[in-house]
């Protein structure tokens, strides 16, 4: 069996006296797309922030590519190949599209490869090529999501974490974003997807985890979770 790219053991994260993540275990194999679903406040975003190094865990281990990384700073995790596309996108509104993408490559100095990756981002997101010199803050929500995803990909990650990529987007743009997620996954990228639209997330993923009140309550193959009566009642409106 292939060793997991990401192996999380008993992860705990606390805000003050409140434990937001309560002993989470999850893993992602190389090239696997895994969905993490749950209601608002379940602890999904907190989990991603802890994995990215934006929050320091109160306990547990985060093993990435065979190495414990829970004590590494966020920029060190980026350098090792972990990238987060945050909820709300967090683009640099006063920078151009190209400047935002180049910020994703800030830890790199392989200038020819960076230029080649910019060209690849324009192929993956043709709209960004058309708006290359436009201020990112003037783009539509869907285009800003493309900027955030392309910026993360410019760091050449092995693990891409996406937090609510469909949030606030029109249905047609959601479709385009998820087509791109499928394309990135098909190229061998490992992806951890947090998504409020549980049906969409499970349709694109191979496996899934269900999170409630800071704990994983259910996990399995995505198709099995889609067919679960409990998941349908709680998250799929069925």
If one counts the domains in the chain, the total is 1
The pLDDT of residue 238 is above 80: no
Say if 7 falls within a structural domain. no
How does pLDDT run across 143-188, given as a tens digit for each residue? 999 999 999 999 999 999 999 999 988 899 999 999 999 999 999 9
Question: What is the reported pLDDT for 195?
Answer: 92
Say if 49 falls within a structural domain. yes
Question: Which stretches of 29-154 are assigned E, i.e. beta strand?
Answer: 33-37, 59-64, 67-68, 82-85
- CATH number of the domain enclosing 202: 3.40.50.300
Distance of alpha carbon 153 from alpha carbon 118, whole angstroms: 10
Distance of alpha carbon 157 from alpha carbon 79, whole angstroms: 8
Domain boundaries, position 195: 30-54+74-236
Structure tokens at 176: 């385009």
């Amino acid at each position: 069996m292939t060793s997991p790219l990401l192996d999380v053991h008993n992860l705990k994260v606390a805000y003050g006296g409140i434990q937001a993540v309560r002993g989470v275990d999850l893993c992602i194999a190389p090239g696997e797309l895994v969905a993490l679903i749950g209601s608002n406040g379940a602890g999904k975003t907190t989990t991603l922030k802890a994995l990215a190094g934006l929050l320091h865990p109160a306990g547990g281990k985060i093993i990435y590519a065979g190495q414990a990384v829970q004590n590494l700073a966020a920029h060190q995790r980026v350098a090792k190949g972990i990238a987060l596309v945050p909820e709300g996108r967090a683009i640099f509104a006063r920078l151009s599209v190209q400047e935002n993408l180049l910020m994703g490559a800030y830890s790199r100095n392989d200038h020819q490869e960076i230029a080649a990756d910019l060209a690849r981002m324009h192929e993956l997101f043709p709209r960004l090529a058309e708006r290359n010199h436009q201020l990112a803050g003037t783009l539509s929500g869907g285009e800003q999501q493309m900027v955030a995803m392309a910026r993360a990909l410019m760091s050449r990650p092995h693990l891409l974490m996406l937090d609510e990529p469909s949030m606030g987007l029109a249905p047609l743009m959601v479709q385009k974003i998820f087509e791109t997620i499928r394309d990135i996954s098909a190229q061998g990228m490992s992806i951890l997807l947090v998504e409020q639209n549980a049906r969409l997330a499970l349709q694109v993923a191979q496996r899934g985890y269900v999170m409630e009140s800071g704990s994983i309550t259910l996990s399995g193959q995505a198709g099995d979770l889609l067919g679960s009566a409990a998941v349908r009642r709680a998250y799929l409106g069925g």
